[in-house]
């Protein structure tokens, strides 16, 4: 199936929320721009992933739905697939790394999915899921490298352009690339002049800029607080789309991510997970040299490990 955002939006009606786009003056001051935040942390299951997962599973044939689905995830895709499968009456199996935050594991189980813990990193969980898929003849739901997934995620771009037609820049977190691919295509179809900026953690930046192109370069190690974007290999489909539609990719440090999380909570009264604040971290740390522009940052998820949150709060209270 080709990428189709309007068709995806119709399927998602009543399932995915149209999330708010808000302006907080404190971030205008910090960034030097008019900053608007697209709050996907308020989405069903706590992250944008429900859009792609539900769109994908709803498009499966009756025979495929009978087989059941399987996915690999560090948390947000797991919950989205589990929730969508339950709503569509499809059996779901999810493989998650052993170090996944306990609340994410429990939330996935609560959506009636079978959860298997395997490996330390996403890539190991992914390989295990593919083995189980082949053995049990299940349908694999990829977290990002799939046109139906990209179509679902791209509905965010449609909403942004309707909520703020005069948008100049959109900052988007990058893990595997499904979110930024969808948003970039959808928004540029409406406003070709818009600039799309990808944001990666410094310690998990698997996409590099070389000779004017974005290339995949596997990091020596992936160790970042932003576990939702800790992907060694972006997708083939998504990397091609990123090269075609994304204007620039920047990185943010672990300290910048932590500061953005605490600042959003303290000054904006919104809780977001580390991967969810990458765009905000890039904007308030002025990673792109722009001023007085209408800038949107996608807050991609809010499934925060409360133990980590307590540690961060204690750290900042000591300062």
What are the tens digits of pLDDT across the range 197-253? 999 999 999 999 998 899 998 877 788 999 888 888 889 999 999 999 999 999 999
Region of poorest pLDDT, from 133-147, 158-172, 225-239, 241-255: 225-239
Q: Which residue has the higher pLDDT, 48 or 218?
A: 48
Taking alpha carbons only, the member of 280, 304, 257 closest to residue 41 is 304
Q: Tokens for 25?
A: 């003056």
pLDDT in tens, 73-118: 988 999 999 999 999 999 999 999 998 878 889 999 999 999 999 9
What residues contact 111, with CB distance under 8 A and at least 6 apart? Answer: 79, 82, 83, 85, 86, 92
CA distances from 183 to 52, 126, 147, 230, 293 (A): 12, 25, 13, 20, 19
Cα 208 from Cα 217, distance rounded (Å):
6
Q: Which of 142, 225, 232, 230 is nearest to 178 (CA)?
A: 142
Domains of the chain with bracketed CATH: 5-47+147-317 (3.40.50.1100), 49-140 (3.40.50.1100)
Higher per-residue confidence, 63 vs 234? 63
Given strand 69-72, what is the order of strands in its sheet? 114-117, 92-96, 69-72, 139-140
Nearest to 118 by CA among 99, 139, 135: 99
Q: Output the CA torsion 23→143→214→31 (10° steps).
A: 10
Q: How far is CA 238 from CA 85, 183, 224, in A?
A: 24, 12, 22
**3-class DSSP string for 178-215:** HHHHHHHHHHHHHCCCCEEEEEEEHHHCCEEEECCEEE
Q: What is the pLDDT of residue 92?
A: 98
Q: Are 291 and 30 in contact (CB under 8 A)?
A: no
Residues identified as active-site: 49, 300
Distance of CA 318 to the CA centre of its chain: 31
Distance, in Å, from the CA atom of 50 to the CA atom of 77, rounded to the nearest integer, reads 7
Degrees to nearest 5, angle at CA 151 with 149 and 156:
105
Predicted local confidence at residue 319, as pLDDT: 63
Name the β-bridge partners of 204: none
Q: What is the pLDDT of residues 21-47, one digit of tens each?
A: 999 999 999 999 999 999 999 999 999
What angle is formed at CA 235 by the lines to CA 232 and CA 237, rounded to 5 degrees?
A: 165
Percent of the chain scored above 70 by pLDDT? 99
Task: For residue 95, give the 3-state DSSP assignment.
Answer: strand
Q: Is the pLDDT assigned to residue 1 strictly greater than 60?
A: no
Average pLDDT of the residues of the chain: 94
pLDDT at 44: 92
Residues ≥6 apart with Cβ < 8 Å to 159: 18, 19, 21, 38
Which comes out higher in pLDDT, residue 223 or 272? 272
Helix, strand, coil content of the chain in percent (nearest 5)? 50, 20, 35
CA atoms within 13 A on the CB side of 270: 26
Phi/psi-derived region of residue 48, left when phi > 0, alpha when psi is between -120 and 50, beta in every other case? alpha
Sole residue written with tokens 């994304």: 246
Model pLDDT, residue 53: 98
Does 316 score more than 80 pLDDT? no
Q: Is 103 exposed, middle or buried (0-12, 13-18, 19+ CB in 10 A)?
A: middle
């Amino acid at each position: 199936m080709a990428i189709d955002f309007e068709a995806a939006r119709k399927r998602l009606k009543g399932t995915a929320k149209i999330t708010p786009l808000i302006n907080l003056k404190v971030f205008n001051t910090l960034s030097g721009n008019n900053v608007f935040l697209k709050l996907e942390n308020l989405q069903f299951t706590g992250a944008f992933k429900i859009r792609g997962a539900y769109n994908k599973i709803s498009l499966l044939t009756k025979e495929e739905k009978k087989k059941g689905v399987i996915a690999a995830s560090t948390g947000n895709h797991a919950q989205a697939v589990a929730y969508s499968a339950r709503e569509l009456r499809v059996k779901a199996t999810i493989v998650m790394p052993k170090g996944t935050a306990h609340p994410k594991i429990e939330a996935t189980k609560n959506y009636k999915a079978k959860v298997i813990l395997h490996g330390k990193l996403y890539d190991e969980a992914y390989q295990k899921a593919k083995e189980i898929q082949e053995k049990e003849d299940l349908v694999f739901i990829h977290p990002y490298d799939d046109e139906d997934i990209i179509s679902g995620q791209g509905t965010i771009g449609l909403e942004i352009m309707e909520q703020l037609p005069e948008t100049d820049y959109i900052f988007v977190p990058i893990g595997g690339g499904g979110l930024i691919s969808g948003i970039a295509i959808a928004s540029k179809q409406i406003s070709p002049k818009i600039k799309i900026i990808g944001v990666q953690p410094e310690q998990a930046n698997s996409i590099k800029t070389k000779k004017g192109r974005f290339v995949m370069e596997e990091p020596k190690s992936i160790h970042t607080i932003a576990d939702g974007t800790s992907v060694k290999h972006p997708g083939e489909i998504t990397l091609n789309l990123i090269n075609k539609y994304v204007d620039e990719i920047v990185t943010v440090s672990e300290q910048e991510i932590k500061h953005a999380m605490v600042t959003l909570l303290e000054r904006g009264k919104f809780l977001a997970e580390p991967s969810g604040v990458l765009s905000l971290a890039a904007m308030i740390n002025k990673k792109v040299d722009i001023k007085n522009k209408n800038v949107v940052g996608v807050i991609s998820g809010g499934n925060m490990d409360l133990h980590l949150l307590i540690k961060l709060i204690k750290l900042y209270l000591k300062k």
